[in-house]
């Protein structure tokens, strides 16, 4: 089992999650984070910390594609362990459905 970051993170990227992860398994893209499924220890601590409710356990249902996406990009993007400022327009994107098709960026987060 693992927890995964899902659609709701895109363009919100609040990063409260990275501060609480005991094994530092978050990875940063340009406009969202991913969890490395093989590093996550399923503690569940990050789930309630996300203001966008973007973090889900893989047993939540229909999570297979998100687990795969988290696995792929966690291996491409840099590790992130400290919270940075969220995007200025993060609140405007909070709660918007289906952001992945139009707004997901494959680019890594800025160092």
41 makes contact, choosing from ligand SF4, ligand F3S, none, with CB < 5 to 8 Å by partner type, with ligand SF4
Place of tokens 């895109």: 10
Span from 18-26, 68-76, 81-89, 91-99 in contact with ligand SF4 (CB under 6 A):
18-26
Contact flags string 43-82 toward ligand F3S, x per CB under 6 A = -------x-x-xx---------------------------
Q: Which of 8, 9, 46, 50 binds ligand SF4 (CB under 6 A)?
A: 46
Please answer whether residues 51 and 14 qualify as being in contact, where contact means their C-beta atoms are separated by less than 8 angstroms: yes
Cβ–Cβ contacts within 10 Å for residue 5, how many? 27
Q: Decide if 7 contacts 54 (C-beta within 8 A).
A: yes
14 binds, among ligand SF4, ligand F3S, none (CB under 5 to 8 A by kind): ligand F3S
| 3-class DSSP state of 4 | strand
Handedness of CA 12, 68, 110, 85 (dihedral sign): positive
Q: Which residues would be at the binding site for ligand SF4 (CB under 6 A)? A: 3, 20-21, 23, 25, 35, 40-46
């Amino acid at each position: 089992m693992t927890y995964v970051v899902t659609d709701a993170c895109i363009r919100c990227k609040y990063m409260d999650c990275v501060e609480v992860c005991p094994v530092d398994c978050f990875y940063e893209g340009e406009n969202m984070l991913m969890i490395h499924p093989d590093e996550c220890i399923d503690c569940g601590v990050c789930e309630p910390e996300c203001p966008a409710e973007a973090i889900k356990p893989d047993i939540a249902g229909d999570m297979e594609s998100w687990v795969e996406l988290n696995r792929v990009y966690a291996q491409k993007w840099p590790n992130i362990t400290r919270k940075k400022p969220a995007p200025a327009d993060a609140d405007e994107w909070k709660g918007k459905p289906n952001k992945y098709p139009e707004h997901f960026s494959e680019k890594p987060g800025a160092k």
